[in-house]
């Protein structure tokens, strides 16, 4: 198990050196247009209120090439609710 943790840490270091960072969304974050472009809704509980993130399943990854842009490599997988 320790070898897997070490391997993961090595991969994370390599990704960080090339401008790739992991990101997550905190529970109770309101979903707006900008956030909607960064998340993949895996499960949703419909209602009449504002849509909010209730749980984050898998983190997402962003690539920042150095010119001020951010490119979403993988969206954050989340559960949302609008109750």
> pLDDT digits over 40-66, tens only?
999 999 888 899 999 999 999 999 888
Lowest-pLDDT range of 13-17, 33-37, 51-55, 63-67:
63-67
Domain layout of the chain by residue ranges: 19-81
Q: Which helix (H) or strand (E) holds 35?
A: helix 33-36
The pTM of the whole model exceeds 0.75 = yes
C-alpha distances (whole Å) from 48 to each of 27, 56, 59 are 19, 22, 27
For 19-81, CATH number? 2.30.22
């Amino acid at each position: 198990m320790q070898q897997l943790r070490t391997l993961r840490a090595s991969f994370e270091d390599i990704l960080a050196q090339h401008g790739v960072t992991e990101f997550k969304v905190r529970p109770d974050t309101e979903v707006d247009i900008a956030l909607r472009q960064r998340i993949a809704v895996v499960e949703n509980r419909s209602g009449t209120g504002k849509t909010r993130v209730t749980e984050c399943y898998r983190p997402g990854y962003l690539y920042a090439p150095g010119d001020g842009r951010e490119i979403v490599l993988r969206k954050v997988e989340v559960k949302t609710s609008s109750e």
